Every structure is written in structure tokens, then in C-alpha cells.
A and B are shown apart, each in its own frame.
Chain A
Amino acid sequence: MSLSRRLLDILNFLALIAMLIAVYMALIEAPDAINVDPAIRPAQRIIYFHVPSAWSSMLAFFVAFIASILYLITKRVRWDIWARSASELGIAFTIAAIISGSMWAKPAWNTYWTWDPRLTTYTIVLLLYIAYFMLRGAIDEPSRRARLAAVYGIFAFLSVPLTFMSIRWWNTIHPVIVDNPENPNKFGLGPNMRITFMFTNIAFLILFVTLLANRISLGWAEERLDALKEKLNF
């Protein structure tokens, strides 16, 4: 077994432990949020899943952005694998954030969907990165695919803050109906809740790094498989 394989195993194990503890803390250890309606207190615990997912997705897209730039500069296959792996994870975490967000929205605001700036931005971001993979899927030649996807990855990432800003400014014409559930300060997290919140964020960070490492290693395996197929004229 190679060293990188062993490291990956350690990482996998660490992520498992961290996530188990995170689930325990989020569901059992953390106290109920006393400042919300009793009926939605269980739903409030989604925050421990929702916010780390959202942050992980942004981190993933940022990694993809940097990898895209590095690809254009160096033209190394490595950075293309990084870019597409991170973008994929970003999509997964974005979907997790959107779904968990609407799971919270239903009991809290009696609707699955609000045109909240963050939720709307995340949906646009999801579309951006679906477009990124559609672009990849429509190009057969690997080096061209990597090059053009990297260009799009740079444009896509840079548009995220602009989109967020425009949607937030747009909404200021309407009264703000609800406080933002994602903001822990406004929410007044108690000390125990804050520890849980911090820990789940760290656990998700470990999960993100683990998934990325696994996805990248899978990416290399795909490369080798393609090379073998080509050799065998498969």
C-alpha cells in the first residue's frame, strides 16, 4: 500500500469520527434554542448542517477557481483534476445547503422557498456550475476541455459576489420579513450551541478535505483508466 493510500485512509477515518461526533453534538449535546418558537426548535438544529454545507461549497468553488488559474498557467493535468473535483464537491454541498435551507424554511416561515438573497444566490451558483459541467461534457478533446473549462471557472467564480450583492440590494426595496436564520449572532447562540456550531464547522472542513482528496485520487484513476483504454484501443 502506498503512502498516499495510507494517508487517505487516515483521513477517511478522521472524517468518519468527526462527523459522528458532529451528529451527536448537533442532535443531543446542543441545547434547544430558547429564543425560537418551541414548535420549530428541532428544525433549528439544521443550522449545524446547513451553514457548514454552505461554507464548504464556497470553499470548494474557491479551490476550483485557484486550480483553474493554475491550470492555465502551468497546463498540468493535476490542476484540471483539482478544478473539476472541487467544482463537483461544490455542487454537492450547494445542493445540501439549498435542501437543508428549505427544510428549515418550511416549519419556520411556512414555505419551502423564499427569495432570500443567500438562497437565491446559491441557486444561481448551482446553475453556474451545472453550466460548467455542461461545457466540459460538450468537449471531447481532454486538453481543450481542461483549458476552456478553466476559463469558464474563472468567470463563474468572479460573478458570485456580484450576484449576491445585486440580489441583496434588490431585496432592500421590500421590507425584511424575517431575520436571517443563518446568522448565528442574530440568532443568539448560547455558549453550548456555539461550541457545537464551531465543532460542526470543523467537522465539515475535515469532511470537505477528505472528499476532495478522495475525488482527486479518483480523478487520477480515471486518467490512468483512459490511458489504458487508449492503449488497448478500447
Chain B
Amino acid sequence: MMTTPLIEVTRLRKAFGRHRVLKGIDMRIEAGSSVVMFGPNGAGKTTFLRILATLSKPTSGTVRVAGVDIRDNPEGIRQYLGLVGHAPLLYDDLTAYENLRFYARLYGMEASGERIRELLERVGLWHRRHDLVRTFSRGMVQRMAIARALLHNPPILLLDEPDTGLDPQAAEMMTDLLREIGGSERTIIMTTHHLERGLALADRVLILVGGEIVFDQPASDIDYQELRPLYDAYVGEGVVA
């Protein structure tokens, strides 16, 4: 029986100076679930993901991954995390292959050649492997970013608005890619501004407003027609996906 959730967030608070970004988040995420988080700009979504990724330290409260407090062993926990952020985390002056080779070494992967080939083929960039990343389109860069995040096959994948700045076609392609890699074992936590696209991937929906969770339901219980007005009220319509 699984009793401890994969990720357990308790009374998580984060303040920058006096500016409180997260005001006490409690959350349990089971292994294998796909959590999609909505919220207006400045709601604290990025900060939340950055704390999970150990890039930012909580002001108070705890985050446990597989029962281990991230403060006790951040190095160990990073091995289990993949992050796709606003920035692609790639080097323009390295080729696609060199970028992945570099990250493979950061993750201590010995023979990474096969894995890199597998990932580049999956995201459809194997034929461009020897081209500098600076020559790639936004959509290609984003696919590279996903390949990079998956390199060490992390059981947890954090995605911070991976569809922002993509044209609809590229965004569609990415949704398919994410569905494909999600599978049943990988846990995905994603933020997005696009309601439909988010719902297509989610099995649990959260809305974060002003550093607090105001909505948390399994996707199966959600009726789109009911969620839409709620979403508009919280997140606002001014946000373009």
C-alpha cells in the first residue's frame, strides 16, 4: 500500500523581503498523477515550481519528495527532477547534441550517447543534432528543452508554461509529446495559461491565486462548462495563451 505521497507540501510560504508570494500551500501529490496549475500572472506558480526544483528556498514550511525533506538532501532530490522553465536552459553556442551531452555529464550519466539519440529522435531533432541551438525556431528550442529535462529519466517532471510563446501548431505538437512521455509512471506538475490545453493533460486541476490554492479537484469531476466561468473569474480573460 502506498501511504506516503510522492510529493508532500506542508504550510509552504515564500516571501521576497516583505512581499509574500506563497501564503501557506498544503498539497499532496501521488506518484503518476498529472497536476495542472492555473493562475494569473504573479500568483506564485513559478515560485512554487522553483521551490520544488530546489532553485528557490522556502521561507517556511516543508516540501518532502518521497518522504525526504528537500532541505536535507537537495542534491539527491535534483536527480529525480526534470524542469522545463520559461527559459530553455540551453546554450545557443552549443549544438543540440553538445547541449544534451553537457547536461548528461552534469547528471553523471556515463554512456549517454544512446539516450541522447533516443530523445532527439523522439522530439524529431536528430537530423539537426549538429546544428547550433541558436539556429532553432522557438518550437524546436522548446522540444529541445523537454528532451533536456527528460535526459536523466526523472520520475518527476516540472513544466512552467511550456506552451508560452509557441504558435498553436507547435503548442499542439507539444501537448501530444507531453501526453506521450507522461505515461502512467511519471508525475507531471505543469502550469499554463491555456485552459483547454491544460485540461487535456490534467488528471487534477489546481487554481492558484495570490499565493493560495483556491481550487483543487480531480479532472474527472470537472465539467468544462462549469470551470470556464470560474477560471475566468479567478484568472481573468486578459491573459493570452
Contact = CB atoms under 8 A, between A and B. Distances in A.
The answer to whether A and B touch directly, with their CB atoms under 8 angstroms apart, is yes
Contacts of A179: none
A226 B18 CA distance: 9
B127 interface: no
Nearest to A146: B17
Interface residues of A, number: 7
A227 B18 contact: yes
Contacts of B19: 230
Interface in B1-28: 15-19
Interface of B: 15-19
Contacts, number: 13
Interface in A66-85: none
A192 interface: no
In the A-B complex, the 10 residue pairs with the smallest Cβ-Cβ separation, listed nearest first, are A142-B17, A143-B17, A227-B18, A141-B16, A143-B16, A230-B18, A141-B17, A226-B18, A142-B18, A142-B16
Considering residues B15, B17, B19, which has the most beta carbons from chain A within 10 angstroms of its beta carbon? Answer: B17
Given A141-B17, A230-B19, 11 more contacts: A141-B16, A142-B16, A142-B17, A142-B18, A143-B15, A143-B16, A143-B17, A144-B16, A226-B18, A227-B18, A230-B18
Contacts of A227: 18
B179 to A, nearest CB: 38
B180 to A, nearest CB: 39
A144 B19 CA distance: 12
Contacts of B18: 142, 226-227, 230
A141 B17 CA distance: 7
A225 B182 CA distance: 49
Contacts of B16: 141-144
A208 B189 CA distance: 54
B60 to A, nearest CB: 11
